[in-house]
Amino acid sequence: MQIVQINNAADAAEAMQEIGVTRRGAEIMAEKALFQAIRLERVDTRAANILKQAMLSQGAEAAVSAATINLAAPYTDVLVLATVAQLRRAIPRLKEQPWGLKAVAGELEAYIDGVMAGK
């Protein structure tokens, strides 16, 4: 047995090709193969609560400070834990939200586009 770490879209494509996945299958699964841990700094706590719910609705996660749920602090850092596919599905929902989430959605979109382009 050998463990092979998949770090980017090229690695995922290569691994799928090596095991005989069809081209179409690889296209479908590529964004599911890439797990991301992304730290967002100084997110409005109201936005962080919405962001967490958006991630959970996609089967992903967002870790926030304990002060987020009751808005005890104005800002929190957020650790988003998701596949590229989960992020892509959450972005349209985030673009509809207030408190800076449109900008967060744009930054996440640019980030995952870079991941998929191998940047």
Per-residue pLDDT tens for 47-84?
Answer: 999 999 999 999 999 999 999 999 999 999 999 999 99
> Using CA atoms, how far apart are residues 9 and 12, in angstroms rounded to an integer?
5
Backbone angles phi, psi at 39, to 5 degrees: -100, 125
pLDDT score at 19: 93
**78, 107 Cβ separation under 8 angstroms:** no
